[in-house]
Copies of this chain bind each other. A is one copy, B any other.
Amino acid sequence: MTAAEKTFLSHPFDDDKLKEECGIFGAIGLADAANFVALGLHALQHRGQEAGGIVAHDPIKGFNSAHRFGYVRDNFTKASLMESLPGPLAIGHVRYSTAGSKAAVIRDIQPFFGEFSMGGCAVAHNGNLTNAESLRRELIDHGAIFQSGSDSECIIHLMARSFQKTHADRIADALRRVEGAFSVIALTRTKLIGVRDPLGVRPLVMGRLGEQGYVLASETCALDIIGAEFIREIAPGEMVIIQDGKIESSRPFHPATPRFCIFEHVYFSRPDSQIGGRSVYETRHQIGVELAREAPVEADLVCPVPDSGTPAAIGYSQESGIPFALGITRNQYMGRTFIEPTEHIRNMGVRLKLNVNKSLVRGKRVVLVDDSVVRGTTSRKIKEMILDAGAAEVHFRIASPPTAWPCFYGVDTPDRGKLLAARMSEEEMREWIGVTSLKFISLDGLYRAAGEAAGRNDACPQYCDACFSGDYPVAPSDQIGKGFAMKKAAE
């Protein structure tokens, strides 16, 4: 990095969230399927902003692909590029970053493609393999040449070494060898294939469009953008093979109790997506209601930290009767970086994105609702801004329990030592952030908001909540090999 580049300001604000690492979308039976995939990926952009890729297949022109850094809207909207991706079958992927790689390289962008003796196959993976590192070493010892730093590439190499005769059977073979969380879509010359891991940690839904068209997507909002009808979720442990307008379903894995990621409800999924029959927005609204019941406070205004805290803040306001207001405005022209002027600007990183509406909060007792606290650094800066604007009191209410454990299933989390809740009690956090009060929703409250009236079933939890509970449904073997300490029974 040159001196000049160092003067650029990195963005602390974005860094203080957990990040979903991927969104996937596939289409079959639709003319120029890649155009639908581009739209679907655009609707899933919140699941990965770093890069995107599309592989398409055309009976005459064969397999074609494009992998690009940047937003879908900036790449897959160009006529020349989209014309290079012809055919009625296509899959795509948007990504945040892979677990292992430090620097972004184009070879890490999915879908990955392999030429097999029975023909080519492209694979896109949402999730994370917890035994990828040992698999990789083993594969290299047996002559595999890895082209990317992405763990997902293991799937293609395992397929290449399978003795099965069809792509689908090879995918099943390969996925039986991996551990962790995965929703996978794959494309052959004639088939669109979708698979979810036995726990169903990451989402995958199916939709229909027109006579013969089917699509697979991470979330239902990607069906809405193209006007597709939502059929159903792919079940945990299910594989679907779509060809010629027909869907074939099978269960290639040992059965297991599902553990869907509860953080999809809290933050990752778009509020207008439907999960398990209800909208994410309603769950978030209900979290606010539960939070108002669990952690009431006397105050003048309920303000969301935009935009992810908004539905919970509305719920909190409606349950508590305290008026709701947009006390913090978000700059909709999201800037990555600006050059910091010589004269230092206090909290510049946050200012680029957020501004407090001074005349609204001046002298007021403000309840501030945010979705989560990760490192806590941004919470602290927002608190400073709102106090600078003259608020009398600041009461933080958090729409998730304390995030105290890293996720190893496809979410970008800091090391445990960087998680505020792993190092401090609630009161210590309150003091460090510097607010009048700080309350998190309880794990049971969160489960209730998500529709589990009786709260969490500790004997057999309904969700994966490892980031809150330390209860990992799949042992993260690579991490354990590197010394990661699992929660003890007593902890």
A181 contacts B by Cβ under 8 Å = no
- In contact, A333 and B77 (Cβ under 8 angstroms): no
- In contact, B143 and A351 (Cβ under 8 angstroms): no
User: In the bound complex, what is the Cα–Cα distance between A3 and B6 (angstroms)?
Assistant: 13
- Max chain B CB contacts within 10 Å: which of A71, A160, A323? A160
Which one, A239-247, A278-286, A370-378, A435-443, is touching chain B? A278-286
- In contact, A38 and B345 (Cβ under 8 angstroms): no
Q: Which chain B residue lies CB-closest to A145?
A: B114
Q: A1-43: contact bitstring with B at CB < 8 Å (1 yes, 0 no)?
A: 0111101100000000000000000000011100110110011
Interface residues of A (CB under 8 A from B): 2-5, 7-8, 30-32, 35-36, 38-39, 42-43, 45-46, 49, 71-73, 76-77, 79-80, 82-83, 106-107, 114-117, 137, 140-147, 156-157, 160-161, 209-210, 213, 221, 224-227, 270-272, 274, 277-279, 281-282, 285, 307, 310-311, 314, 318, 323-326, 329, 331-343, 345-346, 351-352, 355-360
Taken together, the copies of this chain in the complex come to 4
- Max chain B CB contacts within 10 Å: which of A2, A73, A143, A351? A143
- In contact, B77 and A8 (Cβ under 8 angstroms): yes
User: In the bound complex, what is the Cα–Cα distance between A352 and B41 (angstroms)?
Assistant: 11
The 9 closest A-B pairs by CB, nearest first: A73-B335, A4-B79, A272-B329, A35-B341, A31-B342, A143-B160, A143-B161, A279-B359, A45-B333
- In contact, B359 and A278 (Cβ under 8 angstroms): yes
Chain A's interface: helix, strand, loop or mixed, by majority? mixed
Known contacts being A147-B147, A160-B145, A335-B42, is A79 close to B314, with CB within 8 Å? no
- Max chain B CB contacts within 10 Å: which of A281, A323, A337? A281
State which of B31, B106, B331 has its C-beta within 8 Å of the C-beta of A43.
B331
CB distance from A385 to the nearest CB of B (A): 9
Q: What are the residues of chain B within 8 A of A32 when measuring CB–CB?
A: 341-342
Q: What are the residues of chain B within 8 A of A342 when measuring CB–CB?
A: 31-32, 35
- In contact, A272 and B307 (Cβ under 8 angstroms): no
Q: What are the residues of chain B within 8 A of A140 when measuring CB–CB?
A: 115-117, 160
CB distance from A461 to the nearest CB of B (A): 25
CB distance from A2 to the nearest CB of B (A): 5
Q: Which chain B residue lies CB-closest to A79?
A: B4
CB distance from A135 to the nearest CB of B (A): 14
CB distance from A146 to the nearest CB of B (A): 6
A–B complex contacts, Cβ < 8 Å, 20 sampled: A4-B4, A31-B341, A35-B340, A39-B352, A42-B331, A43-B331, A45-B331, A45-B333, A77-B336, A145-B147, A224-B351, A271-B357, A272-B355, A272-B358, A279-B358, A279-B359, A281-B325, A310-B326, A324-B324, A332-B332
Q: What are the residues of chain B within 8 A of A345 when measuring CB–CB?
A: 39, 226-227
Q: Which chain B residue lies CB-closest to A351?
A: B225
Q: What are the residues of chain B within 8 A of A314 when measuring CB–CB?
A: 324-326
- In contact, A42 and B272 (Cβ under 8 angstroms): no
Q: Which chain B residue lies CB-closest to A1?
A: B83
- In contact, B77 and A339 (Cβ under 8 angstroms): yes
CB distance from A62 to the nearest CB of B (A): 10
User: In the bound complex, what is the Cα–Cα distance between A378 and B149 (angstroms)?
Assistant: 46
Q: What are the residues of chain B within 8 A of A318 when measuring CB–CB?
A: 323-324
- In contact, A225 and B352 (Cβ under 8 angstroms): yes
- In contact, A274 and B35 (Cβ under 8 angstroms): no
- In contact, B145 and A156 (Cβ under 8 angstroms): yes
- Max chain B CB contacts within 10 Å: which of A8, A76, A221, A343? A343
User: In the bound complex, what is the Cα–Cα distance between A311 and B324 (angstroms)?
Assistant: 10
- In contact, A4 and B311 (Cβ under 8 angstroms): no
